[in-house]
């Protein structure tokens, strides 16, 4: 084999390697995280399913499904996408965010991930069930306590646990830095903020949480809130009347 032929073969190998790496990168980018949103219960709460096309395992965040048809809707989605929940989380424990926990925990044998200081909020939820004529809730015993400043794995990605109290006493938000995704619970909404007149709420604390924990994130960060449509950090910096 001549010198020119050897050089040609080496360049061909290099090209093939680079092409394959490029193809893998393109494939992975096309199979990024997905966040499916469902609006459930009389409070119109957003329940989220976090999943990735590369994995069958998924996470459910703030399970608000209450009516049987809502449970069926969620189950139908999981079945059609061949997803298996392996994690259940709450950003906080107000009644509208926990109504579906018991059935999901029982169905899939999952613990609940929740900040330790939200347990009292969970217990208070039964004051609302009594007033609204709903069945009483049982605070789960199998709880894994979320630790702000740490990361958790959901759908093949690492999510940072941010401490964002103010709407509730120990609400957390979940941030995925590689794709700039934020699950904000009821801390931040599109051109609004969470209410602070419920037990554990505090206006100045909420504003501080948003400014010090959320507004330091990139402007392009997509915010998935506990109610209403998604937004971005940049949009809220410019247009949120509570924060301008």
**Tens-of-pLDDT digits for all 244 residues of the chain?**
566 666 555 665 565 666 676 656 545 544 589 999 999 999 999 999 999 988 899 999 999 999 999 999 999 999 999 999 999 999 999 999 999 999 999 999 999 999 999 999 999 998 989 898 999 999 999 999 999 999 999 999 999 999 999 999 999 999 999 999 999 999 999 999 999 999 999 999 999 999 999 999 999 999 999 999 999 999 999 999 999 9
pTM over 0.75: yes
Boundaries of every domain in the chain: 31-239
Q: Domain 31-239 is classified in which CATH homologous superfamily?
A: Ribonuclease Z/Hydroxyacylglutathione hydrolase-like (3.60.15.10)
Query: Using only C-alpha atoms, what is the Rg of the chain?
Result: 21
Backbone angles phi, psi at 21, to 5 degrees: -60, -45
Between CA 157 and CA 41 the distance in angstroms is 29
Q: Are 205 and 170 within 8 A, CB to CB? A: no
Task: Provide the edge-to-edge strand list for the sheet that holds 157-163.
Answer: 151-154, 157-163, 172-176, 181-185, 222-225, 231-232
The answer to whether the beta carbons of residues 108 and 71 sit under 8 Å apart is no
Report yes or no: 50 and 57 within 8 Å, Cβ to Cβ.
Answer: no
At residue 20, the pLDDT reads 72
- Residue 38 φ/ψ, nearest 5 degrees: -130, 135
Task: Supply φ then ψ for residue 74, to 5 degrees.
Answer: -65, -45
């Amino acid at each position: 084999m001549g010198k020119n032929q050897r050089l040609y073969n080496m360049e061909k190998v290099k090209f093939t390697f680079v092409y394959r790496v490029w193809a893998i990168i393109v494939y992975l980018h096309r199979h990024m995280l997905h966040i499916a949103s469902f609006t459930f219960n009389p409070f119109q709460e957003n329940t989220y399913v976090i999943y990735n096309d590369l994995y069958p395992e998924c996470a459910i965040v703030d399970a608000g499904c209450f009516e049987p048809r809502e449970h069926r809707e969620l189950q139908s989605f999981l079945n059609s996408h061949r997803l298996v929940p392996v994690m259940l989380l709450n950003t906080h424990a107000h009644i509208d965010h926990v109504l579906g926990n018991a059935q999901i925990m029982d169905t899939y044998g999952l613990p609940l991930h929740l900040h330790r200081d939200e347990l009292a909020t969970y217990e208070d939820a039964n004051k609302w069930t009594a007033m609204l004529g709903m069945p009483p809730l049982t605070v789960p015993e199998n709880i894994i306590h979320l630790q702000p400043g740490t990361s958790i794995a959901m759908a093949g990605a690492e999510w940072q646990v941010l401490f964002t109290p103010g709407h509730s006493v120990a609400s957390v938000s979940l941030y995925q830095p590689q794709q700039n995704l934020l699950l904000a619970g009821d801390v931040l909404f599109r051109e609004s903020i969470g209410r602070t007149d419920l037990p554990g709420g505090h206006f100045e604390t909420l504003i501080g949480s948003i400014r010090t924990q959320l507004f330091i994130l990139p402007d392009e960060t997509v915010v998935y809130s506990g109610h209403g449509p998604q937004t971005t950090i940049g949009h809220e910096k410019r247009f949120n009347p509570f924060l301008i």
